[in-house]
Amino acid sequence: MEKNRVLMQGNEACVEGALVAGMRFFAGYPITPSTEIAELAALRLPMVQGSFIQMEDEIASIAAIIGGSVAGVKSLTATSGPGFSLMQENLGYAAMTETPCVIVNVQRGGPSTGLPTSPSQGDVMQAKWGTHGDHPIIVISPSSVLETYHLIIRCFNLSEKYRIPVVFLMDESVGHMREGIELPNKDEIEILNRKLPDENNHGWLPYAASGDEMTPEIPPFGMGRKYHITGLVHDERGYPTSNTDKARTLITRLIDKIENNREDIITYEENVPEDARVAIVCFGGTGRSVKRAISKAKDENLEMGLFRLITIWPFPEDEIRELSQKVDHIIVAELNNGQIVNEVKRMANCNCKVHHLGKVDGTILMPDEIVNKAKEVLEHDA
């Protein structure tokens, strides 16, 4: 069978993968370095009977995709740091109402308008805690163009399966990278859609959930079922309540439907040789520099290991804890002033020494900088 080989940009792969996943509605506002996603969505969606709307701002953008999803259409928006900040209130609304949607954040330097065309990984904690209150979230980060294509599909699958907003946390270097890739045949790709209630279930309640996934079965508006959607704490009927038992039951279920399915949600890349004393923890585009650094270090008879987060939230706690028992040192390489490093320290819990290697100047971490950091921490042991 002839292979489908193409030269593709990361932002372009994001759109093409989303279309394969079934995305048929995009609402967004152009912002560097994610603008190509909006531009291509505007071009491609009409070709597949989809709809594109340029909104007046990012608050309206996420509101629109929530509405699109409630109507039963897989929906996407894309932005960068400043726009992501504006989306936070509605991100919490989507989590509370269990409305599936995917939000792409192609990170850039910050704070404020910062460095619009430079790479950064400074939105990691915002992706988890940007909206207020205890809430569920899934955050996924790609490191290549091909992975962007596959992982945006995974974002939609997880969003539909668990009825949750999923953040696709890219960084500028991946969004604007161009690579020759081989696209899979569409019949080889698994596509998941949200579960709908049995038409014969006359006792159906919109926010009742059972089974391992703990996810309700809510049909799109207009399919014959009437129900109420609110951002307030609600009972199984969807109506607001101040009952403390019902409030605790709802919030606990929202969190547990993610925590209890960690094995299904969390993915990562790990390669730690038995004789490696140092492991590098990374995510996104930084993983590419780390892999090159590991190759260069090996040429100098220095073995280093790799642990690349693909799912950032929920955080792979058990896996990092196990990693900390294999090596003497963990270096967390990230394009920020120290965000994931604190999670790694919490999990390592003195099993090994944890160090940070970061940048906030709009440039990427170079392989030599990573190798030199590894040599530095080992020299301190000598």
Residue at which a domain ends, from 138, 168, 188 = 188
Based on the fold, state whether residues 40 and 151 are members of the same structural domain.
Answer: yes
Q: What is the reported pLDDT for 2?
A: 57
Based on the fold, state whether residues 144 and 273 are members of the same structural domain.
Answer: no
Amino acid identity of 198?
Answer: D
Based on the fold, state whether residues 321 and 176 are members of the same structural domain.
Answer: no
Q: Does residue 306 sit within a domain? A: yes
- What's the rounded Cα separation, in Å, for the pair 251 and 346? 25
Domain, as residue range, for 340: 268-379
Q: What is the reported pLDDT for 201?
A: 79
Based on the fold, state whether residues 60 and 151 are members of the same structural domain.
Answer: yes
Q: Does residue 27 sit within a domain? A: yes
Based on the fold, state whether residues 34 and 178 are members of the same structural domain.
Answer: yes
Q: Does residue 340 sit within a domain? A: yes
Residue at which a domain ends, from 188, 221, 255 = 188
Q: Is the dihedral of CA 310, 312, 316, 321 positive or negative?
A: positive
Give the domain CATH number at 56: 3.40.50.970
Q: Does residue 84 sit within a domain? A: yes
Whether the CB-CB separation of 331 and 306 falls below 8 Å is answered with: no
Residue 165, classed as helix, strand or coil, is: strand
Residue 129 predicted with pLDDT over 70: yes
Q: What is the reported pLDDT for 382?
A: 62
Q: Does residue 225 sit within a domain? A: no
Based on the fold, state whether residues 38 and 154 are members of the same structural domain.
Answer: yes
Based on the fold, state whether residues 23 and 124 are members of the same structural domain.
Answer: yes
Q: What is the reported pLDDT for 27?
A: 98
Closest to 69 in 3D by CA, of 51, 85, 81: 51
Based on the fold, state whether residues 77 and 169 are members of the same structural domain.
Answer: yes
Residue at which a domain ends, from 162, 188, 214 = 188
Question: In degrees rounded to 5, what are phi and psi of residue 308?
Answer: -105, 120
Q: Does residue 221 sit within a domain? A: no
Residue 203 predicted with pLDDT over 90: no
56: burial class by Cβ within 10 Å (0-12, 13-18, 19+)? exposed
- What's the rounded Cα separation, in Å, for the pair 108 and 111? 9
Q: Does residue 243 sit within a domain? A: no
User: Bridge partners of 311?
Assistant: 140
Q: Does residue 116 sit within a domain? A: yes
131-140, 144-153, 354-363, 373-382: least confident range = 373-382
Q: What is the reported pLDDT for 119?
A: 95
Q: Considering the chain, what is the average pLDDT of its residues? A: 95
Q: pLDDT tens digits for 1-56?
A: 456 899 999 999 999 999 999 999 999 999 999 999 999 999 999 999 999 999 99
Q: pLDDT tens digits for 303-337?
A: 999 999 999 999 999 999 999 999 999 999 999 99
Give the pLDDT band (50/70/90) at residue 241.
very high
Q: What is the reported pLDDT for 212?
A: 72
Residue 86 predicted with pLDDT over 60: yes
| Rounded (5°) CA angle 273-338-113 | 130
- Which DSSP string do the residues of 83-150 spell out, in sequence order? HHHHTHHHHHHHHHHT--EEEEEEE-B-STT-BTTS---TTHHHHHHSSSSS---EEE--SSHHHHHH
How many beta carbons lie within 10 A of that of residue 72, not counting itself? 17
C-alpha distances (whole Å) from 227 to each of 198, 216, 242, 245, 246 are 15, 13, 19, 22, 18
156: burial class by Cβ within 10 Å (0-12, 13-18, 19+)? buried
Based on the fold, state whether residues 158 and 273 are members of the same structural domain.
Answer: no
| Dihedral angle over CA of 235, 101, 30, 149, nearest 10 | 160
Q: What is the reported pLDDT for 80?
A: 98
Question: In degrees rounded to 5, what are phi and psi of residue 304?
Answer: -130, 155
Give the domain CATH number at 295: 3.40.50.920
Question: What is the number of domains present in the chain?
Answer: 2
Whether the CB-CB separation of 176 and 10 falls below 8 Å is answered with: yes
- What's the rounded Cα separation, in Å, for the pair 311 and 200? 38
